[in-house]
Amino acid sequence: MAMRLAKVMSILFLSLCLPAGQAGFVVINTFAQEIKQPNVSGQFYPSSPIELLAVVDSFLAKANPEPINGEIFALIAPHAGYDYSGLVAAHGYKLIKDKPYKTVIVIGLSHQFDFSGISVYPQGRFRTPLGDIEIDRVFTQKLLDQDPEIFFEPRAFSHEHSVEVQLPFLQRVLNDFKIVPVVMGQTNFLSCKKFAVILKKAIGSRRDVLIVDSVDMYHGYDYVEAEKIDKETASYILNLDADGLYYGMQLGTLQLCGRGGNSVVTTLILAKDLGHNTVKMLKYTNSAKVTSNLGKGVWTVGYGSFVIDQEGAMMDLNINQKKRLLEIARASIKEYLDTGKRLKVEENDPVLNKSLGAFVTLHKHKELRGCIGNMVGTQELYLTIRDMAIESAFSDPRFPSLSKDELKDIEIEVSVLSPLERVDSADSIQMGVHGVLVKKGFRSGVFLPQVATETGWSKEEFLNHLCAGKAGLSPDAWKDKATELYTFKAFVFSEKDIKS
């Protein structure tokens, strides 16, 4: 590798992520260079295009991340010198290779310039040894128009490396994309929440937008402490606990570049709001391991790679988890028949503790006997299954309450739902793949995906029946621009499936 570790040790490996001091008043310079030249080429990564290609491609070839079922909404990647954190970063980037992302929001933090707020580079291009990347000017304007705390401060970018070091990886794995460069200065939890709302509005229904949070983990002089704190910090990320992560960083019990991980706090808030409920840790190491210097008193920086999946945790249900949910559904109905009370049950499985919408459907001799559910998760999945099983058996207004004698003839089916996604028109609906929620005013109705398969209806028939039969609207209300259409997917399994 062309880089000389000894020569650049102080700037590469430290990746000085110590939080800036209290920011004072900032005079904003609105001038943006047409081409933003690189700051750390030849230091954090090779300046030669040929050498840089070889280094990045080598890391991508060595990376062996666990496959992801759905599309990726966000990456969390380290930003130290490539010799230290390049392989960790490559684990995330390998999973998005050749994916059709058109806009990549790269959020770093300010190491060199102290300011309050969030700086967005508005237009032009960022240059690396591999070429120029165009800034998505339309998207940046959507951010800059929303809040006085979001503005362009060029000094936040003038010597900064956190955004820049992600770009060569993006250039090697994606095609025809633009970037939204963001550097976060001093911000609080309310700032993160507001920024998440603004990002959500700017992204809209697009699924070709990727977020990259550029952040390292532990900074300190103790390898053992690094392992302990980074493990604890990772647990908050994996549980999408933005509040806990933020306040843990403020207390110093958790670390992302010291207290500089508010980009991750923002992304966790946004992901949870959008229903992207699955976070996975792909790779972890630290500079002590990389250099094989585990002695106490040696400066150590942690590096982690995480992904947030757009499809949510429902895609990860294994055979044992399906079986357990069906057991809970049946036991809940039996307990209610016997005692009139809800089943007392606890689950430690993290997937079954995710907040997801779900339906429980009952069939008797292959005929519908009850079906009730929640479209969105309001509690742990296993508790939703318990409650919806009881509702389906005893509260579906289309049927009398289930009797004890009937239970032996009942087959239970569970549908775990992905988050709702609003669509602009019926053209986006895939019959047999998407369930549909229609809403106009105070009226709404829903069909699960399997309704299309079971009935054989055309899309127009499907939507006509949904509007008239379920929502109490006119059959063609779905064509009205005032009517809201939402799609979702359902992960469906039954007792018959498990037995077979």
The predicted-structure confidence for 133-168, as pLDDT tens digits, reads as follows 999 999 999 999 889 999 999 999 999 999 999 999
**Average pLDDT of 5-19?**
39
Q: Rounded to whole angstroms, how far apart are CA atoms 315 and 452?
A: 21
Q: Say whether both 295 and 339 belong to one domain.
A: no
**Average pLDDT of 89-110?**
96
Range of the domain at 84: 5-311
CATH number at residue 13: 3.40.830.10
Q: Say whether both 412 and 475 belong to one domain.
A: yes
> What does R_g of the chain's alpha carbons equal in angstroms?
25
Q: Rounded to whole angstroms, how far apart are CA atoms 262 and 109?
A: 8
Q: Is the pTM of this model over 0.75?
A: no
79 or 22, which is more confident: 79
Q: Say whether both 276 and 378 belong to one domain.
A: no
Predicted local confidence at residue 28, as pLDDT? 39
**Domain end residue (candidates: 282, 311, 340):** 311
Other Cβ atoms less than 10 A from the Cβ of 352: the count is 20
Predicted local confidence at residue 77, as pLDDT? 98
Q: Residue 312: pLDDT above 60?
A: no
Q: Rounded to whole angstroms, how far apart are CA atoms 490 and 315?
A: 9
> What strands, in cross-sheet order, belong to the sheet with 35-36?
35-36, 125-128, 131-134
pLDDT (tens digit per residue) in 223-244? 999 999 999 999 999 988 999 9
346 or 313, which is more confident: 346
Q: Say whether both 225 and 319 belong to one domain.
A: no
Q: Say whether both 136 and 160 belong to one domain.
A: yes
CA max distance for the chain: 80
**Domain end residue (candidates: 266, 283, 311):** 311
Q: Say whether both 196 and 88 belong to one domain.
A: yes
Q: Residue 399: pLDDT above 70?
A: yes
Number of domains in the chain: 2
H-helix or E-strand containing 183? strand 178-184
Predicted local confidence at residue 273, as pLDDT? 84
Predicted local confidence at residue 412, as pLDDT? 98
CATH number at residue 424: 3.30.700.20
Q: Say whether both 346 and 260 belong to one domain.
A: no
Q: Say whether both 327 and 419 belong to one domain.
A: yes
**Domain end residue (candidates: 311, 337, 353):** 311
What percentage of residues in the chain have a pLDDT greater than 70?
Answer: 92
Q: Say whether both 221 and 166 belong to one domain.
A: yes
Q: Say whether both 307 and 394 belong to one domain.
A: no
Q: Rounded to whole angstroms, how far apart are CA atoms 497 and 326?
A: 11
Quick one: which of 275, 281, 290 has its CA closest to 416? Answer: 275
Q: pLDDT tier at 32 (50, 70, 90 boundaries)? A: low
Q: Say whether both 236 and 295 belong to one domain.
A: yes
Predicted local confidence at residue 383, as pLDDT? 96
Residue 402's identity, in one-letter code, is L
Q: Say whether both 246 and 320 belong to one domain.
A: no
Q: Could you tell me which residues come within 8 angstroms of residue 384 by beta carbon, excluding any fewer than 6 positions away?
A: 356, 357, 358, 373, 374, 377, 378
